[in-house]
Structures are given as structure tokens and as C-alpha cells.
Amino acid sequence: SGPAGKGMTIENGTGQTLHVHFSGPLTRTVVVPDGRSESVELAVGEYQVAAEVPGSRIIPFYGRQAYQSFTHYWLKFVDFYRDPILWRDVNEGIGLQLVYVIVFLGAAWANFTTKDITS
């Protein structure tokens, strides 16, 4: 379907078991049985994608997909609950939160300084 916190849903209606390979910031292989769908979480970045049906004469599909999102690290605080803690994602999430706070507080401050509240 598309990026959603960097997720993707793969639906298989081929009549065969489908193997989808991702190569990029993360390398994964997802097996999707016929008539099923699988959700895949991906980190932001550019991926090479290959889909194949093993043991058949179907020509594999190759493509390239880039996933970019400013909100990718928005909810990465949940990595505090992992063992081991993924500090890189947590730090990027905190950095993104700080940027949002600074931008929106700056906009609010600029708005309030133009108001006359003495009358």
C-alpha cells in the first residue's frame, strides 16, 4: 500500500506463494502465502525490492522504492521498552520532538507578541 510510519502491506493474489526481498537500510525477506497479506515495517531510506515465486517459471519483479518521512521517528519513544534499547532511533525521535516544540513555540510567541492584551 505505502509508507505508514514506514510500513507497507503486501497483498498476494497470484495463486502462488510469493517471496518479497527488501535490500536497503534494512534487509528482509517476507513470505506471503496466496490469498493473504503481510505487513512490513521499514526504516526510512531507499530500498531495492524483488518479488519472486520459487520453483516456478515466473520472471521475478525488481524495483526501487524510496521511503521518506519526517514523522518516522515521532513515536520512537517505545524503543525505551526494547531490550536492548535502540538509542539511535530514540535520539532521533527526541531530536524531532525538540524541532517541533521549537517551531510551534516560536510561532505561538510571534503570534502573542502582536496582541495587545493591556486593553
The predicted model gives 57-69 an average pLDDT of: 61
Whole-number percent of the chain with pLDDT over 70: 75
Are 62 and 50 in contact by the 8 Å Cβ rule? The answer is: yes
Strand partners, 10: 38
Is-cis flag, bond preceding 84, omega within 30? yes
Q: Is the pLDDT of residue 110 over 70?
A: yes
Better-scored residue on pLDDT, 117 or 89: 89
Q: What mean pLDDT is predicted for residues 80-92?
A: 80
Q: Which three cell numbers stand for residue 34?
A: 496466496
pLDDT score at 73: 62
Q: What is the pLDDT of residue 81?
A: 78
pTM over cut 0.95: no
